[in-house]
Structure 1
């Protein structure tokens, strides 16, 4: 089911002073409308999204591939110079939490475990305890080998899902990291771009979504019983027909709405779609953005959606629109699942 595009209009504002090179990720805080942005221009930027103010900027030794908040006063980043860094926003203090043996692709903070989890192209996952003394010799909890380079990871509660090259998926329980609870192969046939867990409290908290370079999204469930596994499915998105040819775009980004459990996808076609995964319907498609969508994030209350319009070099080094971050006010009708209609009795 396709819905009509929604224009940017007054619901989308462009942040001033955006990164000057590819935007690798952006994250809203769980405590405010602050937005953390990592970029290939070697910076992490902190914005007040509501006030459209750049509040801080931290320079790295190489492109920054991911970032996340600890709380409203501090955050973490994953860098191509193999480092995991921690920032204190108010003081501008920065330190190196630890290192990998290759670029660090992903970083997440677990409130349940009080740990930072990082995934790297050195084919390892590492957990860092940030509650105790500083210094990598005190903070590294464990190193966990992965079957391939880590491309994406996501967590909910004590579960963490790791997606690697080679279409491998590992599911861990942070309370016992000795080995994965589950080792899977992606149900999508092509390289994984993004994995995102369902948020808690939405009624669909027992699974995760995967996106691929081949314009598809898969809905997966943690429960490995035959009954649960028959419910998983995949669908096509971010495609178009042109001159009788089907053009397929990578799905770079996904973000779940924190209230309704619906989710947004962003692709190299420059579109953002909102989906009702339970009823298997597209709720909305926003008007096309200037270039590829590289990252998405809903604010803590679901009122705002941050969209990174940033060319991802899927067609090589060609002229492209400059990088931009748009903050869209979200209307309930765009993200709230529509009730199923019951035929009237005859």
Structure 2
């Protein structure tokens, strides 16, 4: 039985968290996405997708997309995936339409009222990520076939344009007219109104692969997370004044001076407070940062598993954290996944004048 509720429960001494318990038959959560359109009570729905493994003599893999209403704390929809392919990413188009990217390369559109779905197109390899631009009405997908594709689902033939890049793509971020694409150790920036070529190519200071990229909503800028625990931030000022560009490590070095290498799995910018963002890593830590002052604002109590995905609601009052096994490292703790809905307070978004500089890690 699927638990239909999100319920309040104190975790690790943190009373500001709501936790959604997922049954033990669940294996892991691939991604979560908050509805950018909903205005009810200033919160919004939460979209997530999971793998479900049921053992009935033979292991049957069931893949499902789920829609939760955070306001009422209820499961609104559970829609099966159209194939046995793994669902790897998801996004909203409207309150009633969502898209997923799957390991068989398919990009699937879901009707969130009826639960029905249809394929709008395919990549030639794993489709790793999908996003939607409200401004241009484009669905953007990318994957391991080294292609970024643009879809207009209003057309009979929805594929409108694709770009061949030089490397496999594991992360994209769409904000307004801007598309950020992580390619190897670089970020390609596109204007979706002129998608024929990149408007900017940013070589990062990292010599390792980029795990995730997140764009800002208030200006052209982004943050990227690497597989070795570093974060690079670049935020442009329209007047070319006080532009931000720097790199830092999320984890402090050990006493012997060695870097603590742990993958930064996801980054999310707060849509309410400019320059404030959170990182989630493979050891289960979520940390809030201020891009302007280069300060750590707050570190949440450690989550029970790796942080697979992060998503703010549309006004930045709630942060959804997917705590899940990610199959990246042999020493990961394989415990049932959970979704935590974290309420934001002054420490989380930079209102408090007193900012903790000490890490809670032991």
Please, what TM-score do these two structures have when normalized by structure 2? 0.83
> Which residue does the alignment assign to 1:108?
131
Is 1:305 the counterpart of 2:319? The answer is yes
Which deviates the most, 237-246 or 146-155?
Answer: 237-246
Which residue of 271, 276, 281 maps to 1:258? 271
Paired residues of 2:305 and 2:333 also in contact (CA < 8 A): no
Return the offset for 1:289. Answer: 0.5
Note the residue ranges of structure 2 that are not aligned, 5 or more in a row: 1-10, 39-43, 53-62, 356-362
- What secondary structure is seen at the aligned counterpart in 2 of 1:334? helix
Q: Report if aligned partners of 2:32, 2:90 keep a CA contact under 8 Å in 1.
A: yes
CA distance in 2, matches of 1:127, 1:326: 32
1:268 is the counterpart of 2:282: yes
Q: Residue 260 of structure 2 aligns to a residue in which SS?
A: strand
State the distance in 2 between where 1:171 and 1:256 align: 17
Return the alpha-carbon distance in structure 1 between the equivalents of residues 205 and 213 of structure 2: 12
Structure 2 counterpart of 1:9: 14
Single out whichever of 98-107 and 36-45 deviates more from structure 2.
36-45
Using the TM superposition, give the Cα deviation of residue 226 of structure 1 relative to its aligned residue in structure 2, in angstroms: 9.0
Seen in structure 2, the aligned counterparts of structure 1 residues 274 and 318 have a Cα distance that, compared at 3 Å, is: closer
Query: 2: CA distance between counterparts of 1:211 and 1:146?
Result: 20
- Give the Cα separation in 1 of the matches to 2:32 and 2:231: 21
Equivalent in the alignment of 2:90: 67
From the superposition, tell whether residues 46 and 331 of structure 1 become closer, same or farther in structure 2 (CA, over 3 Å): same
Aligned residues: 326
Q: For the structure 1 residues 290 and 123, does the alpha-carbon distance in structure 2 shift closer, same or farther, using more than 3 Å as the test?
A: same
Structure 1, gaps ≥5 residues long: 1-5, 342-346
| 1:125 partnered with 2:130 | no
Q: What CA deviation, in whole Å up to 9, does each residue of 1:41-60 have, x standing for no partner?
A: 42221111233222112222
The question of 1:79 aligning with 2:102 is answered: yes
Q: Map 1:242-257 to 2 at 5 A.
A: 246-257=259-270
Preserved CA contact (<8 Å) 1:211 1:251: yes
Shift of 1:191: 1.0
C-alpha contact (below 8 Å) 1:29/1:69 kept by paired residues: yes
Q: TM-score, normalised by structure 1?
A: 0.87
1:238 pairs with 218, 235, 251, which one? 251
- Greater shift after overlay, 81-90 or 14-23? 14-23
Provide the alpha-carbon RMSD of the alignment.
Answer: 2.5
Aligned to 1:53: 74
CA contact (8 A) 1:210 1:219 kept: yes
* Kept after mapping to 1: 8 A contact 2:22/2:337: no
User: 1:333 maps to what in 2?
Assistant: 347
Say which SS state the counterpart of residue 172 (structure 1) adopts: strand
Q: Deviations over 1:226-249 (max 9, x none)?
A: 9777x4101110356378754321
- In the TM superposition, what whole-angstrom CA distance separates every residue of 1:249-305 from its partner, at most 9, and x where no partner exists? 111011111111201110112111000010010010010110111111111111111
Instruction: Describe the shift of the 1:339–1:71 C-alpha distance in structure 2 as closer, same or farther (beyond 3 A).
Output: same
Aligned to 1:3: none
Shift of 1:7: 5.2
Question: Judging changes above 3 Å, is the alpha-carbon distance between structure 1 residues 160 and 139 closer, same or farther for their aligned structure 2 residues?
Answer: same
Distance in 1 separating the partners of 2:127 and 2:323: 23
User: Cα distance, 1:336 vs. partner?
Assistant: 2.5
Using the TM superposition, give the Cα deviation of residue 155 of structure 1 relative to its aligned residue in structure 2, in angstroms.
Answer: 1.8
Give the CA deviation at 1:151.
1.1
Q: Any residues of structure 2 matched to 1:165-204 within 5 Å, and which?
A: 166-200=184-218
Is the 1:147–1:168 contact (alpha carbons within 8 Å) kept by the matching residues of 2?
no
CA distance in 2, matches of 1:211, 1:224: 24
Given that residues 128 and 170 in structure 2 are in contact (C-alpha distance below 8 angstroms), is that contact kept between their aligned partners in structure 1? yes
Contact 2:270–2:316 (Cα < 8 Å) also in 1: yes
Report how far residue 21 of structure 1 moved: 2.2
